[in-house]
Amino acid sequence: MTGVTLSSALLDPRRKRILFRCWHRGLREMDLVFGQFADAELPTLSEVELAEFEVIMDEEDNDLARWILGTLPVPERFKTPLFERIAAYAPDFEQMTADMRRAAE
């Protein structure tokens, strides 16, 4: 859960760019959500889904984090099956933070 597990060797150039962007978002939390989603589903996304995914990825990380974590309502334009699939990859960040605190003690 800490880095790319999908090899880009067999991906077309568009998917390679998307995979890189997914793991280099700017917010580690969004790297984990988008990166895990890309590792699992990027090779099988249709062209239409890829286009929608790129639109979603163009949003600000802070907004995406709030929508995915449920602290802000998801805008109507993103209430789609694809966005729901992406959001399903969100780990339990509260548990991760608690585990990190315990490990640091």
- For residue 82, the surrounding DSSP H or E stretch is helix 81-87
Cβ contact 75:59 at 8 Å: no
Q: Which residues contact 9 (CB under 8 A, 6 or more apart)?
A: none
> Is pLDDT at 2 greater than 80 in this prediction?
no
Q: What amino acid is encoded at 99 in this protein? A: D
What's the distance, CA 59 to chain centroid? 12
Q: Given this model, what pLDDT does residue 14 score?
A: 94
Report d(CA 18, CA 54) in Å as an integer: 8
CA 56 from chain center: how many Å?
A: 10
Reported as a single tens digit per residue, the pLDDT across 24-69 is: 998 988 999 999 999 999 999 999 999 999 999 999 999 999 999 8
How many whole angstroms separate alpha carbon 38 and alpha carbon 45? Answer: 9
The pLDDT of residue 1 is: 45
pLDDT at 10 over 80: no
Residues 90 and 105: their CA atoms lie apart, in Å, by 26
